[in-house]
Chain A
Amino acid sequence: MINNIERHAKLLKASARAAKNITTILDPYELFQRTVDIICEEFGFYYAGVFLVDDATQYAVLKAGRGEAGRAMLREGHKLAIGGNSMIGASIANKKGRIALDVGEEAVFFENPHLPKTRSEMALPLIVADEAIGALTVQSTEEAAFREEDIDALQTMADQLAIAIQNSKLHRQEERRSRLLKAANRVGKEVSSLLDLDQLLPQTVNIICEAYGLYYAGVFLLDEQGEFAVLRAGYGKAGKAMLAEGHKLRIGTDSMIGACIAMGEARIALDVGEERVHFKNPHLPHTRSEMALPLIYGGRTLGAVTIQSSEERAFSEDDITTLLTMAEHLAVAINNAHLIEELKEAHNEILRNKVFEALTTASTEAIHWIGNKTLPISLTVARLREEIADGKVDLDSLKEDLDMISESAVQIIQVKEQLIGAVREMKPRPVLFADVLRTAAMQRGIPQNVLQVEIAPSAAYIIADSTQLTRAIGNLLQNAIEAGAKSVKVRVHPTEQRGMLEIDIEDDGVGISDDTQRKVWSPFFTTRGVSHHGLGLPATMHVVSQSQGHVALVSEEGKGTTVAMFMPRGRVDVEQAQPGSVKSILLIDDNDDWANLLGEMLKGTKVKLTQSTDLKKFPEADLILVDENIASASLTEVLGALSKAGLAPKTIILTSAINPERVTQYLREGLRDVTVKPYSTGELNELLK
């Protein structure tokens, strides 16, 4: 009796220790294996095993078994029918523990070849919320090892095990749900930020497969005719291979995707057995479960997502819920991407039409213009021929006719000058904008008091061809004045785009109508009558484009026009010049920005720089530099005085806008050279060599 009580107490203690160890394990496979090990170690049993009821509640499937015997049975997929003859099957069916002892008539139960030494067995149901989720088998090599009262002691442990299994399952479900929600969230975020389908769809299949641990996912989109679902993204090598093959499925009932799109409903195939027909894709031989989710937006089916697992019955309710949510997000994103594509296409169409319209306008204007300019030539020639034939050639009339022919020809030739200028520098360089502006204003006869100039110190230099830029700025200033501007504001400042400057030329002239604004960049378009070529703005655009910049125009009728030129910023470090043998320089120039720059560059050198516009007396100098555009003196008078004083051979004319005709003229007057103004120390050193 005492032995029995001690034995029972020992069993209870062991049961409590085993239960304590079991309940801390959350990983199901570890839980099962540790359980059988702990039981055998604590109780000294020959064998222990854990069975769980399968999804169909038909079998108890072995999940863990002690030792080599357990491993062998697991390999064999050992399972027992619920409610059958087995101890386990009966224990689950009755939700009661059972004992079988090798005494006489019950020896039949111990025929398992993996467990030849079993002489007693106890089967304990694993019950959660009154439901048997599996059973525990414990086996002993002793005959009559178990007694009825032992069942209670071990059932306590089995109950703890059942709770631990349930906890582990819940934990697993919770973990998976959390991962799925994160994945759905990630897809939601990704899809809302990606508008290019070629990025969005591959990204989506990758996220789905990685987050859900799936074998394969693919996205199909409906073709334009609505006949086929065309694969647009597929996971892994299988996806790549199918995309390369142009994989597509006919809409209808032949495939899960086809049926899903046709019916606008999700389709799920979870069982390999009777639905094996669904899994015949040679690229996806391991698929055992498949889900097809329709991509529906605004009642319209755009395509479908296929999601495939190598496990049977792989998809839980949570999977389906989160994947459906994700498919909804994806449908919205695909729709947005479609809309963007349509918008882009519409924009391109508009652009094509605009370009065509602009080209047509430009060609028509050009034809009209050329026609008008050549007409007097043909007309006059025809009339002259008649006059000659009639023998009535009047000399004055003939002279006038020749003048008309000549003027027409000159105007035609001027078009080239207007459009591309007379000369181009070899390459754009940092140009002192203030100097270019001053030259442009002087060349176009724009009074300095009309201009209000504001140049940010960091925007002093622009990368440009100074000759071309002078012409472009001149065109804009001239346009402003011809539009009746009383004031022209010129602002130069850095932009948000790194390395770019904005040059705004804002006038308070009559402004330009919306209709005209659309045509102003077309060559030969003008609102200013026949004396204009209509090439000012197109030429400006050409110049700005050459410097990798761009130009925009904003105007309001009655209020004025602003032209904004965006051009690259130039950087110049003003260093001390190396003047070579030059010891003294006379600068004939206004006291302007460039004169100041020259002074800065020569500061600290041995060169004596004298600045003057006094033509009566020229100080002694090795070199005389003359700015071609001086406000305080006439260039003709300056050059005349220098020639008269015999100083022409020492004189170099500097200009920001060089012109070959004027160069020829100056050189023929005996000047030493004519060149573009140096805007950096390096350029000055070159000049002083």
Chain B
Amino acid sequence: MTTVLLVDDEKLIQRSLEKTLLRAGYDVLTAPDCKTGSEVFSQNASAVDIAVLDLNMPGFDGMPKNDAGLDLLADLKQRRADLPVVILTAYDEVNKAKDAVSKGANAFFVKGREQGLVELIQKILSA
């Protein structure tokens, strides 16, 4: 079973995405911030196949931070360089996308087009 680590601080978005992924047949581990996300990954390092991280959420100190998702991306990549990561954001910003990719993200996904998220995850994992 493919396991997705989903980190997002918006409770309803997190749950909604979780349900969409579950319905698509994935196992989903969730966390609301960088610190918890990092801990959940540590506890399930071998099981996690792909991480989907919100861009703006509480950072490692628990305080809301812009681009905190990129901090968690760096943290996860340091521990597992080949881990596929998708960055989620509410902003359709090209520069942010380029920044994310330069830091090792496999994809930059703008919220609101979630129906494509499942296909994107499948595409990344089958690559």
Contacts and interface: CB of A to CB of B under 8 A. Distances in A.
Given A376-B13, A530-B9, A371 B23 contact: no
Contact of B16 (A371, A375, A387): A375
A361 to B, nearest CB: 12
B114 interface: yes
Given A371-B111, A371-B112, A379 B90 contact: no
Interface in B1-58: 9-13, 15-17, 19-20, 23, 56, 58
Interface of A is mostly: helix
Contact of B9 (A378, A383, A400, A529): A529
A169 interface: no
Contacts of A529: 9, 58, 64
B20 A375 contact: no
A190 interface: no
B124 interface: no
A679 B127 CA distance: 73
B115 interface: yes
A372 B111 CA distance: 8
A375 B13 contact: yes
Interface residues of A, number: 25
B23 A372 contact: no
A368 interface: yes
A373 B9 CA distance: 12
Contact of A528 (B12, B64, B112, B115): B64
A491 to B, nearest CB: 30
Interface string A368-389: 1001110110111011001100
Interface string A401-414: 10010011000000
Contacts of A439: none
Contact of A404 (B16, B63, B112, B115): B16
A397 interface: yes
Nearest to B117: A379
A386 B20 CA distance: 10
Contacts of A371: 90, 111-112
B12 A407 contact: yes
A368 B64 CA distance: 14
A378 B12 contact: no
Contacts of A400: 15, 19
Interface string A352-377: 00000000000000011001110110
A560 to B, nearest CB: 17
Given A372-B13, A404-B12, A527-B64, A383 B20 contact: yes
A681 interface: no
The residue among A371, A373, A382, A530 with the most chain B CB atoms within 10 A of its own CB is A530
Nearest to A401: B19
Given A371-B90, A528-B64, A529-B64, A378 B23 contact: no
A639 to B, nearest CB: 34
A387 B9 CA distance: 26
Contacts of A528: 64
A379 B16 contact: yes
Interface in B102-127: 111-112, 114-115
B19 A382 contact: no
B91 A368 contact: yes
A465 B112 CA distance: 41
Interface string A97-127: 0000000000000000000000000000000
Nearest to A526: B64
A372 B16 contact: no
A367 B10 CA distance: 15
Contacts of A372: 10, 13, 90, 111
B20 A376 contact: no
B110 to A, nearest CB: 10
A287 to B, nearest CB: 68
A408 B14 CA distance: 13
A47 B111 CA distance: 115
A375 B13 CA distance: 7
A516 to B, nearest CB: 11
B19 A383 contact: yes
10 contacts: A367-B90, A368-B90, A371-B112, A372-B13, A373-B12, A375-B114, A383-B16, A383-B19, A404-B15, A529-B64
Given A376-B15, A383-B20, A526-B64, 10 more contacts: A368-B90, A375-B10, A375-B12, A375-B90, A379-B16, A380-B19, A382-B115, A400-B15, A404-B15, A530-B10
| CB-based closest 8 A-B pairs | A376-B12, A379-B16, A376-B16, A371-B90, A368-B90, A529-B64, A404-B12, A372-B10
